Amino acid sequence: MKDKNLPNDYSSLSLEELTNEANKMIEYLENQKDLENSMENYQNLIKLNNIIEKKFQRNIKDINIKTKEKITKIFNKKDAKFTK
């Protein structure tokens, strides 16, 4: 799992795809006998983990915004019913 094996643009991948990529990297590292030569792979895994975390946080933010919008619409509908 060298850098060249990692996709350059993670933004196009879903969280599930990124998680699968991380799992592959973990499996690869677990099968390595010489861990000293795997430092680059561990660093790539850490980078991938950070990307997953940021994407997850963005998804949470989007979900919160959409939820607030839906709640506002529901309250506006209820207010409209009570004012008639």
Q: How far apart are CA 17 and CA 15, in angstroms?
A: 5
Domain ranges of the chain: 3-59
Tell me the pTM.
0.69
Averages of pLDDT over each 10 residues, the chain, 84 residues: 53 88 92 84 92 93 96 84 65
Residues 26-63: b if buried by 16+ CB within 10 A, e if exposed: eeeeeeeeeeeebeebeebbeebeebbeebeeeeeeee
